[in-house]
Structure 1
Amino acid sequence: MNWNGRPMTRRGLLGRLAALGGAGAAYHGLTTLGLLAIPPAHAGIPVRPADIGAGRSVVILGAGMAGLTAGLQLARAGFDVKIVEANGHIGGRSLTVRPGDSYAEVGREKMVCRFDDGLYLNAGPGRIPHHHTAVLEYCRTLGVAMEPYIFASRANLLQSDQALGGQPVQLRRIKHDLRGRLSEMLAKVPDPAALDASITAEDHAAFKGMLEQFGALNRQGDRLVYRSSSRAGYSVPPGAGRDPGTLYPDLELKTLLDSDFWRNGLFNDMTDYWQTSLMQPVGGMDMIVKGFLAAAIPGGRTVRDLVVTESPVREVVNTETGVVVVHAKGREQADYCISTMAPSVLARVKNNFRPAYADALTRIQDTPAFKLGWQATHRFWEENDQIYGGISWTDHPITQLWYPSDSYFSKTGVLTGAYNSGANAQLFGALSHPERVALALEGGEKLHPGFSNWVHRDRALSIAWHNMPHFPGGWQNNPPELDPQAYARLTVPEGNVMLAGDFLSYWWGWKEGAIRSADLAVQAIVDRVSQ
């Protein structure tokens, strides 16, 4: 294939895939061409000799996903394990807020959940990709029931003040009109050689036939053109009898390009970790945490028996024979330590780390992240817009509006009325809760006129993770890409201290990274005691 008169190599094709479809398109292009192996399935909770850790001790800092994973594995391998958690909440950022629950940002008024019974907000993680096999295998093993999470519905909305008079537009209309316009452009290429010197006349005919189907093109003589398609939806839906409905007028390519929708929301479901299918635990993300805490370990105990809460770490010191950890509720002397704390937080704890290691900790960047949840008066998104799950996108600072992927046709539900990071999260984080509510109502109105009348503003919950105690952000930016030297340094144990957490993986910001990094830390300890 050629592009701009130049031969199109496989490398060039992947570059174009990345430009048009994002990283996910390039990723799957690589796997299709056999240039990148698909990640192997996780083998489940490792089974090791039950006495391999006998007489050895490990203190784990943090009871999030990495800490619980490491604690379960080590305890079942015979190690004496203690997990020290700074917060009263177990699960790290896997925070599911239910009626009566409370939390508080630093220096802020306590937030109390006043949702109706049975409702909840996943204030942290909210979905699990199908290829995150470690998380899913633990859920299977620990008996955590799962259900589909709808990331994208073609009925979801895109909204920009710069496009179409600021009116929200269904995702199907933008996506399929753009597909049709691009297909029409390709169909106008008259010479098979302009596509690829190796394409025969029959190949060229097949290619144009594919474009006709791909773009829903219409034949006008020997030309293929794009006209309004049912794929893009109807301004007046079809009915019975002689009522064919009215198609939306097709959008011009310039309008589509000027809209900037292709920069925000339009191609997000092509990214590999957002591609269908995604999953969620039935009843809330904390069901995974509960599964870990109830997991049996030797001595008739469970993982919950290993955890000490509300005890911030004050000191981590390597010794000749092990490590000493001082925390608010005591002093631990252990053979090894696994820290799952954010690197920037660990760097501020009193320690005797070597300068290069201490410096590497400070170089990992924290990402501000913000969420706001609404209880709706009724499921207006289903009744008015036929939206059943998925996400609508806007250039307003709320960025996203999530619709629940469960309890369809029920009387009410919880919307994630804002989810953002970076500058928009900092904006919301600096506001008081009432100011956050007012700003989020603005964003909701842009997507759903009348929104302010359909949510209980007095029950809204907001959380800025970069303001939460002991959490400097929603996640850490990917160290391998931003600072390879710091990342390489932190993957090597510092004396008897090892790190685990999603930041120490190529799945930063995901449970998968936390679990797989914990696997590596535990194996490193097992290897040491086995020597």
Structure 2
Amino acid sequence: MSMRPVSVIVVGAGLAGLSAAVRLSKSGLRVTVFDARGRVGGRVWTVRDTFASGQYAEAGAEFIDDAHTEIRQLVKEFGLTLSPVVRRGFSFALFERSGGTARVLSGDGAWKAIAEAAAPLVREYEAAQYRWNCVAVRDIAACSVAQWLNNIRADKTLRAIVRSLRGFFLADPEELSLLMLIDQLASDSPGRQAMFRIEGGNDRLPHKMAGELGEAVHLDSEVVAVEQDRASVRVSIQDHTGRRSVARGDYLVLALPASTLRAIRIRPALPREQAKAIASLKYGRVTKALLQFDRRFWNSNARGRAYGTDSPVGAIWDANEGSAGQPGILTLMAGGRGSGTLRRILSHRRTQGIRARLEWLHPADAQLMRSRVITWENDPWACGGYAVFTPEFDPTLREQLGRRHRRILFAGEHISTRWQGYMNGAVETGFRAAAEVKQLMSRVSYRGQ
């Protein structure tokens, strides 16, 4: 008599969920994927329907680094190609309040200034072996970056450099845990690795993975409740018409951001510490403005094509330097409070407001052709860009975010300890969730259950 194949339900058709689903499917398991959105990819989204000349730009996750092993492996598996971008790395453009003149610092020079100021804390963190659950690290975590700058009596330049990181951490110094900055400095300075995008758009990867899974992927399907017992899991699903149904499986992978995961009713309830970790994790506010001009005026600037800035427009970079044609797309990415400020500039002053903020790049008579603005905190299925650890988050709870709950496993960039905030963090944790399912199956087989 043939045995029934093991079935796994995956909730979330972003990179984390699809990575888990593809790995499980390749292992011969029956996989079903549900996502509340009408598209796959989650926070990976390439905008193609807005711009002239067939150009496109990334509305969500953008850069893949040299060291991002897991996603690079998937890119290769699915026959895609990586294109090098931002070859000169990110520089820092600092402004005197709202003035239009920028003082440009090299990325290495700016990060060196931060690293020198934070060196004692980095050594302390290294001595703690990068563990978030020891007393010394808890003290660092409870301090905001702004408070630390005050404690060391930082000068105006260092404060401006750190504020320029809003486009990286998606949080202002006042709301960012110092531990996030120290953790970054202890691993590496951003921008030192070579950076890439997927040729043709980053969302080609989730579309390829979903294509391999075929009819196993169900969109417009919001999961509202989960129940499990000793033998199975049951998932309650609501479609866009409000009609409800139930799916049953042997295991469940919840590949959702904590911001939306906490809205799902889970029975039996999650352990208290795990529920607290999920409930207290914040997500960064971020607005991306994709601006297509009739010519790439930023190319004439010999200093670079990518900047972190302390301006309200946030970080700036060439969104499609590999595209043919004279028009080009410039990305503005404003994190933290800058997200709302950028939206107000776009709403009230429109083109004139943006041009005023870009005068230091010498746009001259360049014309804005088309634009697209995406605010991730207003997206109901993300509620923010990516996870941000604030001073209020208890660092000892971090390991709880990805802890298995009986037959329920978790995946997502917020769970990754090395690649949190990156696409690679999503893929890495998706792979890990798939491996955990197979380990659980092995235990059951060994026990003869």
TM-score (norm 1): 0.63
User: What residue in structure 2 maps to residue 283 of structure 1?
Assistant: 200
- 8 A Cα contact 1:54 1:80, kept in partner: no
* 1:343 corresponds to 2:278: no
Identical amino acids, percent of aligned pairs: 23
Whether the 8 Å contact between 1:65 and 1:514 is mirrored in structure 2 is yes
Alignment partners' CA distance in 2, 1:397 and 1:477: 19
Structure 2 residue aligned with 1:160, among 95, 101, 114?
Answer: 95
Indicate how the Cα distance of structure 1 residues 169 and 410 shifts in structure 2: closer, same or farther if over 3 A, else same: farther
What is the match of residue 377 of structure 1?
Answer: 294
Aligned AA (1:515): V
8 Å Cα contact 2:301-2:361 kept in structure 1: no
Q: Which moved more, 1:121-130 or 1:485-494?
A: 485-494
Q: 2:6 aligns with which of 34, 47, 56?
A: 56
Are the aligned partners of 1:150 and 1:405 in contact in 2 as well (CA < 8 Å)?
Answer: no
Return 5+ residue gaps in structure 2 as ranges.
117-154, 169-183, 240-244, 444-449
Compared CA separation, residues 379 and 397, structure 1 to 2 (3 A):
same
CA distance in 2, matches of 1:478, 1:503: 10
Task: Choose the corresponding residue for 2:336, options 422, 437, 442.
Answer: 422
Checking the alignment, whether the CA contact within 8 Å between 2:57 and 2:320 is kept in structure 1 is: no
For these two proteins, the number of residue pairs brought into alignment is: 373
Amino acid at match of 2:236: V
Q: CA deviation at 1:304?
A: 3.4
Q: How does 1:69-108 map to 2 (within 5 A)?
A: 69-99=19-49
Query: Whose radius of gyration is greater, 1 or 2?
Result: 1
Assess if the C-alpha contact under 8 Å between 2:416 and 2:425 holds in 1.
yes
Does 2:322 match 1:407?
A: yes
Contact residue 159 and residue 446 of structure 1 kept, 8 A: no
Residue pairs, 1:335-484, within 5 angstroms:
335-352=250-267, 353-354=269-270, 356=272, 357-382=274-299, 384-386=300-302, 390-404=305-319, 406-407=321-322, 410-416=325-331, 418-428=332-342, 431=344, 434-435=347-348, 437=350, 441=354, 444-450=357-363, 453-456=365-368, 459-478=370-389, 482-484=393-395
Contact 1:314 1:327 in 2 (8 A): yes
Partner of 2:77: 141
Check the 8 A contact 1:374/1:455 in 2, yes or no: no
Q: Secondary structure at the match of 1:74?
A: helix
Deviations 1:20-53 (A, max 9, x none): xxxxxxxxxxxxxxxxxxxxxxxxxxxxxxxxx9
Q: 1:440 to 1:518 in 2, by over 3 A?
A: farther
SS at match of 1:117: helix
Asked if 2 retains the 8 angstrom alpha-carbon contact of 1:374 and 1:414, the reply is yes
Instruction: State whether residues 288 and 334 of structure 2, in contact with CA within 8 Å, keep that contact through their aligned partners in structure 1.
Output: yes
- Equivalent residues in 2 for 1:242-391 (5 A)? 258-260=156-158, 262-263=161-162, 271-294=188-211, 302-329=212-239, 330-352=245-267, 353-354=269-270, 356=272, 357-382=274-299, 384-386=300-302, 390-391=305-306
Aligned residues of 1:123 and 1:463 also touching (Cα < 8 A):
yes
Residue deviations 1:193-243 (CA, integer Å, cap 9, x gap): xxxxxxxxxxxxxxxxxxxxxxxxxxxxxxxxxxxxxxxxxxxxxxxxxxx
Distance 2:425 2:89 in 1: 27
* 8 A contact 1:379–1:409 mirrored in 2: no
Where 1:348 maps in the other structure, the secondary structure is: coil
| Residue identity opposite 2:61 in structure 1 | P
1:398·1:440 contact (CA, 8 Å) conserved in 2? no
CA spacing shift, 1:284–1:441, aligned 2, 3 Å: same
Change (3 A) 1:119 1:336: same
The 5 Å alignment of 1:20-39 reads: none
Identify unmatched segments of 5+ residues in structure 1.
1-52, 100-112, 183-256, 295-301
User: TM-score, normalising length from structure 2?
Assistant: 0.74
Q: Distance in 2 between matches of 1:444 and 1:380?
A: 14
Output the aligned Cα RMSD.
Answer: 3.4
Matched residue type, 2:77: T
Which of 426, 429, 432 is equivalent to 1:514? 426
User: In structure 1, the residue corresponding to 2:207 is in which secondary structure?
Assistant: helix
Distance 1:98 1:55 in 2: 39
CA distance in 2, matches of 1:476, 1:161: 30
Deviation at 1:485, TM superposition (A): 3.5
SS at match of 1:93: coil
Greater mean alpha carbon deviation, residues 60-69 or residues 353-362: 353-362
Q: Per-residue deviation at 1:174?
A: 11
Structure 1 counterpart of 2:407: 496
Q: Conserved in 1, the CA contact under 8 Å of 2:345 and 2:353?
A: no
3-state SS in 1 of match to 2:53? coil
Counterpart residue number, 2:86: 150
C-alpha distance in 2 between matches for 1:447 and 1:488: 44
Contact 1:161/1:395 (8 A) holds in 2: no
